[in-house]
Chains A and B, each alone.
Chain A
Amino acid sequence: MSYSFDEQTIKINIDRSKCPECKTKACVKGCEVYNRGILVIKDGIPTLKEGIDAKREGTECLACEEECRLRGLNAIKIDAPIPGLTEWVAKVSKM
């Protein structure tokens, strides 16, 4: 039940097994306020709006993750990697 899509530099991961139980659908409301409303509810679960090219049109607002954590069922995790950071921290921590 995992669903994900990419924006320009981030990946939005949604654990859809939780979504049918969610009463608020706060992710979609947040997306309307802070992004361009690219996330919509289809068949009771959040889905990328049809015809949207999220890599181009997504604004990487990160709001769906926070709204879902605060008002939903903590089903969204966003990956925004920083290449090299883990290795750098490990290196400088040993110095």
Chain B
Amino acid sequence: MQNMPKGCPSGVMVRLHEYQGKQVLSSVRIPVPAGKVASTPAEAKNIAAEINKPVAVKAQVWVTGRFSAGGIKFANTPEEAEKAAQELIGAEIKGLRVEKVLVEEKLDVAQEYYAGVIVDPGMKNRSPVIIFSSKGGTGVEEIAQKYPQNVAQMPVDVSRGVRGYDALDLVLRTGLTGRTLTSVAPIVTGLYNAFVRADARAAEINPLVITKDGKVYAADCRISVDDNSVFRHPEFGIKVARETTKPHTELEEMSWRIEEGDYRGNSYLAQMIDIPIKEEGVIGYHGIGGGGAILGVDALNRAGLKIATYTDTSGNPTASKCYRIAKLILSIPGIEGYMLGGFIYANQEQWHHAHGIVKALREMVADKPGFPTLLLICGNKEEEAIQIFKEGLSDLPIRMEVYGGERVYAADFLAQRMRAMIEEYRKERRA
């Protein structure tokens, strides 16, 4: 088995939909099947009529195994395409709602290949790596295991780029020769150009096909853009430059607008539950340090509580950033409490968190008598932060407990305290 590069573990990527990826490929003259994206069945019908051939109607969702999950349907007529789009648009595939479908000409496939470019940050390469396989259609890792002789890879010197003969050499190493070799190799060069043009961290064509009439097409593709480069690509329409498995919610979009363009520390908010909240035991969770904060979530779950938000403010954010994130959390109707999960001895000055959170709590829960509020804050300026909490919130009628470094890893204790406060709060409200 070959050692495949591990794709950019330290990088954050934003995925494009297939139809967007194909627009990028087209821009570097890689042939893609004729087609357009549709948001309604009527649009799908019109596109199929324009193509005037049998078509594939493909759900635009970020999942693997789309075909076996029912996300790709074939249609011989515009009416069939309309029906297929009707079935797909609004449906859920592997938990993701389909908003758009790509309607494109159905290909008569003779051979399938794989071509990909990823950023390999490993010591060996620290560069983009091109991978080509003369077998395609499934995951390249799987192909590399079963057919190592059919897979070749090549690191790229970014200052030099990829020359035509580099691509020929790479493809030749996988066993392809003759016309196939000369048809496929330019696609490899083009894919690298697409990777550069999109500021991508990964770009794949899988499968790259040769049809029975000898034409080469990128039949499917995945392109992930480096999140730091998203601002340079308004054409992609990416609202939130963060990797996700599902479209971002409005709450997440608002949190991104707080973070976007403000590099003073980090803030991150993931909505973990449908809003409005329709069950008991859900709290707003505000972590400090994305990894350590998981401790609190696990403990809360063990205590029978759920979180509406998984949030992180760290890297020495401004008090204003902490305030805005706390205010977003506290704005969620139906939460039964707020927990600051600072499960980390942070070296950031924690008094900025304290000032931000005090302001948010004063604005949002002053009219919620007994509202459960648990604040754990540890690290630099911890004592001062605790003092700011106690002094700043002492006149609010909320139920509040404040902890510091002595409880930094007492996740279960804190979760139980949160639960106890919520139970008391519920009793009071029902009384």
Task: Check B359 against A95 for contact (C-beta < 8 Å).
Answer: no
B240 to chain A, nearest CB (A): 13
Interface flags for B386-409 (1: CB within 8 Å of A; 0: not) read 001001100000000000000000
The answer to whether B157 has its CB under 8 Å from any CB of chain A is no
Task: Check A9 against B388 for contact (C-beta < 8 Å).
Answer: no
Q: Which residue of B lies closest to A61 (CB)?
A: B319
Task: Check A61 against B352 for contact (C-beta < 8 Å).
Answer: yes
Task: Check B262 against A9 for contact (C-beta < 8 Å).
Answer: yes
Interface flags for A19-43 (1: CB within 8 Å of B; 0: not) read 0000000000000001000000000
Q: Complex: how many Å from CA A70 to CA B394?
A: 11
Task: Check A61 against B333 for contact (C-beta < 8 Å).
Answer: no
The answer to whether B202 has its CB under 8 Å from any CB of chain A is no
Task: Check B355 against A62 for contact (C-beta < 8 Å).
Answer: yes
Tally B residues with Cβ within 8 Å of A: 30
The answer to whether A51 has its CB under 8 Å from any CB of chain B is no
Q: Which residue of A lies closest to B354 (CB)?
A: A66
Task: Check B352 against A88 for contact (C-beta < 8 Å).
Answer: no
Q: Which residue of B lies closest to A9 (CB)?
A: B320
Task: Check A95 against B276 for contact (C-beta < 8 Å).
Answer: yes
Of the candidates A65, A70, A82, the one whose C-beta lies within 8 Å of that of B359 is A65
Q: Complex: how many Å from CA A82 to CA B323?
A: 10
Interface flags for B322-344 (1: CB within 8 Å of A; 0: not) read 01100110011100000000000
The answer to whether B358 has its CB under 8 Å from any CB of chain A is yes
Interface of A is mostly: loop
Task: Check A92 against B333 for contact (C-beta < 8 Å).
Answer: yes
Of the candidates A10, A70, A80, the one whose C-beta lies within 8 Å of that of B392 is A70
List CB contacts (< 8 Å) of A78-95 with chain B. 78, 80, 82-85, 88-89, 92-93, 95
Task: Check A89 against B333 for contact (C-beta < 8 Å).
Answer: yes
The answer to whether A17 has its CB under 8 Å from any CB of chain B is no
Using A70-B392, A80-B324, A93-B333 as known contacts, say yes or no to A62 and B262 having CB atoms under 8 A apart.
no
Q: Complex: how many Å from CA A9 to CA B265?
A: 14
Task: Check B327 against A82 for contact (C-beta < 8 Å).
Answer: yes
List CB contacts (< 8 Å) of A46-68 with chain B. 59-63, 65-66
Of the candidates A63, A85, A92, A95, the one whose C-beta lies within 8 Å of that of B319 is A63
The answer to whether B94 has its CB under 8 Å from any CB of chain A is no
The answer to whether B318 has its CB under 8 Å from any CB of chain A is yes
Task: Check B323 against A80 for contact (C-beta < 8 Å).
Answer: yes
Interface residues on A, range: 20 to 34
B108 to chain A, nearest CB (A): 48
Task: Check A89 against B320 for contact (C-beta < 8 Å).
Answer: no
Q: Complex: how many Å from CA A89 to CA B251?
A: 10
Task: Check B327 against A62 for contact (C-beta < 8 Å).
Answer: no
Of the candidates A9, A63, A65, A85, the one whose C-beta lies within 8 Å of that of B254 is A85
Of the candidates B254, B333, B356, the one whose C-beta lies within 8 Å of that of A83 is B254
Of the candidates A10, A70, A84, A92, the one whose C-beta lies within 8 Å of that of B320 is A10
Task: Check B333 against A62 for contact (C-beta < 8 Å).
Answer: no
A83 — which chain B residues lie within 8 A by C-beta? Answer: 254, 257
B359 — which chain A residues lie within 8 A by C-beta? Answer: 62, 65-66, 78, 80
Q: Complex: how many Å from CA A93 to CA B277?
A: 10
Q: Which residue of A lies closest to B250 (CB)?
A: A88
Q: Complex: how many Å from CA A4 to CA B316?
A: 26
B333 — which chain A residues lie within 8 A by C-beta? Answer: 89, 92-93
The answer to whether B351 has its CB under 8 Å from any CB of chain A is yes
Task: Check B275 against A85 for contact (C-beta < 8 Å).
Answer: no
The answer to whether B258 has its CB under 8 Å from any CB of chain A is yes
B276 — which chain A residues lie within 8 A by C-beta? Answer: 92-93, 95
List 6 additional A-B contacts (Cβ < 8 Å) besides A34-B351, A61-B352, A66-B358: A7-B320, A34-B352, A62-B355, A78-B359, A83-B254, A84-B253
Q: What are 15 A-B interface contacts by the 8 Å CB criterion?
A: A34-B319, A34-B352, A59-B318, A60-B319, A61-B319, A62-B356, A80-B323, A84-B250, A85-B254, A85-B327, A88-B250, A88-B254, A92-B332, A92-B333, A95-B276
Kindly list the 10 A-B residue pairs having the minimum CB-CB distance in the complex, ordered from nearest. Answer: A60-B320, A60-B318, A62-B319, A62-B355, A61-B319, A80-B320, A95-B276, A10-B320, A89-B331, A93-B333
Question: Using a CB–CB distance below 8 Å, which chain B residues touch chain A?
Answer: 250-251, 253-254, 257-258, 262, 264, 275-276, 318-321, 323-324, 327-328, 331-333, 351-352, 355-356, 358-359, 388, 391-392
